[in-house]
Structure 1
């Protein structure tokens, strides 16, 4: 009798662990591969806190995270990020696992979209050049969205949403409440005449309802399966909103 009880407990633990494994969520973070700031001769890339803040929030919530970029391999970091104080900078530099993921990002054309419950398009100025009109961004986003997953983007990463078309022919953002790097913030950054387009204006032109927060202050907008953050300050709360949504699914 004793052995039967022990065996029953072991079986229950096995099935419980299997259920937890099957319930593990998986998120893809996509980075830019573009490192030139227009024709200025200056370098750009992805904005480090818009990777590290969501990444650490997600992994602390026991969510698996993969990192891809448009071309794969080393994703360019905008060095200006290191001029701003951030506790996660040193954490990143000491984190062999995350450093390896950034050095060896998955090429976006190799991403199997069905493996993920959500995607986050990370910011920095680089995405303004290589996120729009990318067929793999459209493929990944529409697949996740149709699977009842979540499509999220922060800051200039919202540029990825400007060309995602659903199977019915409508733009993903049409009629949706969204935010992203605002025209005022672009002007204050001094890049309004350098980037290919003003993100806020583009989103409005394409039928989205743009919700503008105060410059450089956190602003996250949730519209169903779509989550957007305005600027770097929005990266952590965007991750928190994503985690909450995943727990509901």
Structure 2
């Protein structure tokens, strides 16, 4: 029997279960992977917003990464919310030692609008983007990172997510240095249950990369999983509700 691919999620905990570590574990598990975690921060949040954030110490984050990679091994890594520039630095230092695919979701603002990364943390993202196999910004995050031209000039592979743009269709663009862009366009799924879409997409891409898929194929498969999870949303909460990860077949 072939063992499942081992995927390490380095991200914050979402007490409401819709995003962060919780969404990553569900996604990795549903896609046949083995989920491991290094929790960077605790958040008190639900579908209506984030009411409190408490970052872990950089030493604790490093210890979690070391515990997983040193014993269980790892086939791919997903990075989400980091919590502080010091955590970003220690994550980069640990990942520079690994030779596995890394998917970096540069989480800055939650679906509810809460800020999850300050300017110093965003400045520390540069090192992680250079380590990452793929960085997955949404429209506002792409702008905060300097825009398409800046990322191309710096030789960074990125997936521009169009879910928070306007219009009846959603367009996602994969840009890899030295290759032609790959573009996906699909009708927008109109729903308020979008909490955790970015987390789900990035952890799905990481899982597919751990299985050996090409980057373009991993993104394509991950997009299909997110769309299916949006359609399967259970309808929980009064705000931006969670996806239906476990209802996807």
Q: TM-score, normalised by structure 2?
A: 0.48
Structure having the larger proportion of residues in helix? 1
State which structure, 1 or 2, has the greater radius of gyration over its C-alpha atoms. 1
